[in-house]
Copies of this chain bind each other. A is one copy, B any other.
Amino acid sequence: MCVCVQLCLIDMIIYGALYVSGHSSVRWSRVLRPLLLVNVTEGRQLRRAFRSIRNALPQILVVFCLFIFSVLMFSLMALKLLSKRNLTTIDGTSYFTNYLEIIFDLYVLVTTANSPDVMMPAYNYSSFFAIFFILYIIINTYTFMSVFLAVVYNNYKKYLKEEVQQLVKAKRQKLRKAFSLLQENVGTGGAGETGETRGEPVVSRSRWTELVKQVQPSISTAHRELLWSVLDHDNKGHIGKQAFLQVADLLNIQVITLKSRPHPLQLWIPSLYESTASRVIRRIVQHRVFVYVYDAIILVNAVFIGLDEEDPLVSSAEWAFLTLYVLEILLKLYTFEPRAFFSRHQFWNWFDTIIIISALLATITNAALKSSGGYTSRQILDIVFILRVLRLIRVVDTIPSFRAIINTLIKIGPLMLTFGQLILVVYYIFAMVGMELFKGRVQVFAADSSDPAREYCGNPLLKGSTFARNNYCKNNFNDVVSSFVLLLELTVVNQWHVLTGGFTAVTHAAARIFFVLFHIVVVIIIINIFVAFILEAFFVEYMVEKTDLQTSLERKIEELNLCVEQEQMDGNLGAAMETQDNDLGSSEGGKARPTLMFKISSKRYRTMDGLLQRMFETETDLSADDANEETEDMNFSNPSFSPA
């Protein structure tokens, strides 16, 4: 990292000096800048991704060489078969006569960008040549690209697994150390009921509580009590080593503590809030039909959005819909306890409220502007439109199978951001190189410009090219934003040869190397990692049932009658809370339903590493090496901690 910073400084000095003296130089250090991001930020995930790519490289290289060999063979065959037939492409240029051109054309066919076009002249000549291209597509486009995915995926998985295993191992070692520091010997001085427990080291409840308090101060007392009761099944007042080692995993399970609070209005104006009318309203809001009615309203709204908004009927309908949505939120706030409604895990409630309030504000601003001077701000109107459409997304939440998929996607969101970073870094490097190579070669003209140069993007070399004809002038390397958009288009791969062709025309055929390199790095490697990642995340969702620990925690919660059913959680959260009247009661459940309830959000992990660990939990069986270290540790059992 130091090297990187130094290089950047040197470059800046050189550039400054040359700029002052009137020269311009290549700002080569720009390329290095993103490496700072990799090193400086808390980019553990990013570094991990980079390392997994680096480790996969040798294997990818082997497959790549074989793939290139296959392309060369096919090209040679194409040259021998087609070069003497005097075929022409639709542009009138000769078809498949130059070996290097054939290689490039067939490489482009792997990206599928020139799919039927490259085949058409030969196919028009004779149907038999279709066999050649079909074989090529099956072997190179489908099989080899799948093999690339397999190699990348496999390495990604292997590397991640190793790293997670190391993490787990380190965690266990530290926990063991902690145990040996905290342990006390029961048995020897104690009762010693059975032969088994003699001298067995344990950790007492008070020490454990102290530890958890120090490690995670944010955890509630009730939650801590719950965890203890899970670890100490038999209520012995102390836990053994095996139970102690579970502490970290238990803390990693996200338990939502639900406090049953009375509604504020109930405290302020109890007579009104408890009146019959109020009760009826609340019952209606909690009813399933209420949800259906609003789903129907959303669907009708969708139709209205599709209609022309300049129609007065439609614009007044818009006000009606907005009122309905606001009313819905107010009713829900009236029915449910506001703090529970806006708790951290109620994603859709937050989403809803923010969208509606923004829409309300934007619509009002728009109306005010319009009535004040008949002037409509295009930007505000755009925002209003977007918000209106976004409102409709909520309908997804009412369909359980949709919700499951969306939840998975939301959950892997943070990890996907890692890939966002990775792609940004790679894009940035290529954008910088691209800007050095192609800056200013392609120009954009305003749509109303009458300059004849507009026809060929201001570069005579592009006259009559497909690039200019398709009006691609704005796809250029003139600034960072344009470069990023262009690189995204190249990632999507379609029209790859046209985009590439434009830049080759304005510079040199060797520019192809840059674009082929980009294709290899981004499409063959990075996108495959992205696919591998999504696959892995979904497999975890499908395969891994709740882990053992979670199940035992859940069992305990159920046992203690502290469980909130999923149903109640999702839709009408407050319902369960609202029906009970006692607002006192210990967290350890009595017969009456307690005010404090727990819910395991079983599929949500606090940390990213928690998710990763779970990904490989089924495969990383550490019990074997555990047993080894177990015996080893026994010797270390600290004698200075005499019995309590």
Contact = CB atoms under 8 A, between A and B. Distances in A.
A175 to B, nearest CB: 29
Nearest to A157: B539
B535 A146 contact: yes
A456 to B, nearest CB: 14
A238 interface: no
A80 interface: yes
B470 A117 contact: yes
Contact of A147 (B306, B405, B495): B405
A141 B137 CA distance: 21
Interface residues of A, number: 82
Interface stretch (A33-41, A65-73, A257-265, A512-520): A65-73
Contacts of A127: 481-482, 485
B142 A406 contact: no
A415 to B, nearest CB: 13
Contacts of A507: none
Interface stretch (A216-224, A344-352, A389-397): A389-397
**Chain A interface SS verdict (over half):** helix
A117 B146 CA distance: 28
Interface stretch (A486-494, A583-591, A635-643): A486-494
Contact of A539 (B119, B150, B382): B150
A406 B124 CA distance: 33
A449 to B, nearest CB: 12
Contacts of A405: 62-63, 66, 147
Q: Chain copies in the assembly?
A: 2
A542 interface: yes
A275 B562 CA distance: 94
A626 to B, nearest CB: 20
Interface string A89-127: 010000000010000000000001111110110011101
Contact of A470 (B77, B120, B474, B493): B120
A343 interface: no
Given A66-B396, A73-B392, A154-B542, A149 B495 contact: no
A356 to B, nearest CB: 17
Given A146-B534, A393-B73, A471-B90, A124 B447 contact: yes
A489 B116 contact: yes
Nearest to A120: B471
B472 A116 contact: yes
A152 to B, nearest CB: 10
A367 interface: no
B493 A115 contact: yes
A79 B386 CA distance: 10
B73 A495 contact: no
Given A116-B475, A142-B527, A149-B535, 4 more contacts: A65-B402, A119-B489, A130-B481, A137-B492
15 contacts: A69-B402, A81-B382, A90-B469, A112-B493, A116-B470, A120-B472, A120-B474, A137-B488, A142-B530, A143-B409, A143-B534, A146-B535, A149-B531, A149-B535, A494-B494
Q: Which 3 A-B pairs have the closest CB atoms?
A: A115-B494, A150-B538, A80-B385
